[in-house]
Amino acid sequence: MTDQEDWQDPSSDTFARVEYDISVWVPCPPVFPPGYDRDRWAQECAAAFWRRPGLTYSDMDVALLSARLAKIHEDTYGHIPCHLAFIHLPDPRLAPLPVYVATWKPEGDRDEQLRAMTHANDTQAVRAPIIDEISTENLGTGLRVLVYLPVEDDPNAIGGALSYAWRIEKQQTDLRIFTVCADLGRLQRAIGDIDQLAQVTTIVPLPSEASAEDGSPS
């Protein structure tokens, strides 16, 4: 099962298209249509995920998940350097994990910029980062970097920051997908699904004004 989310970056001529699995991901839109708001979105998503077959739940379970989703939305837009977010939630009994998507105009040397976007040289890392190339049919070859970082509230604990970055030359766009999690076990559980999310992400050029006016494809 998949759905699709498009996001237009006002600073570029492209938008990110993500065909995500609706059984794994909660789409976290930056804006809502008139008559619809954050609280309604959070409540409906929480109820839908708890209604899955085989789960026993109470109104309190739905309310708790709804509050967590609403808080993630509130904390994301305006506070995180991203333009779109998805929340990893293959099981509503898990802690929701936000994953962020951002697109930018390319700057500087490709390799240096990809390393900067993935924090491959993060001086706060407590272990050597795990740096891998990742290739997708739509985006080409980029970097995937897992950085181990101290947890702010518990200096004895280690969390992780997982970042992906590509430069898509044809669309003149740099793309970053990233998440941060204080629970390494929770993060490890999500990595395969985040890899898959990257595989179904595409950078698409916006239609030209002329094409939009006459209805022809760009």
C-alpha angle with apex 198: 103 to 148, nearest 5 degrees? 85
Convert the pLDDT of each residue in 120-134 to its tens digit.
Answer: 999 989 999 999 999
Give the model's confidence band at 91: pLDDT under 50 very low, under 70 low, under 90 confident, else very high: very high
d(CA 158, CA 182): 7
Beta bridge partners of 80: none
Give me the helices (H) in 118-207, please: 184-199
Mean of pLDDT values over 58-67: 98
Q: What is the pTM of this model?
A: 0.89
Min mean pLDDT across 10-14, 99-103, 176-180 is at 10-14
pLDDT, one tens digit per residue, over 189-207 is: 999 999 999 999 999 876 6
How does residue 14 score in pLDDT terms, banded at 50, 70 and 90?
confident
C-beta pairs of 39-42 under 8 Å, 24+ apart in sequence: 39/66, 39/70, 41/69, 41/70, 41/73, 42/66, 42/67, 42/69, 42/70, 42/73
Q: Looking at the predicted structure, is the pLDDT value of residue 90 above 80?
A: yes
pLDDT band at 43 (very low <50, low <70, confident <90, very high): very high
Per-residue pLDDT averaged across 32-46, rounded?
97
Whether residue 11 is predicted with pLDDT greater than 80 in this model: the reply is no
pLDDT recorded at residue 207: 65
Q: Longest C-alpha distance within the chain, in Å?
A: 61
pLDDT confidence band for 101 (50 / 70 / 90): very high
Q: Torsions phi, psi of 172, nearest 5?
A: 50, 55
Can you give the pLDDT at residue 78?
A: 82
C-alpha count within 13 angstroms, C-beta hemisphere, residue 204 = 17
Read off the amino acid at residue 83.
H
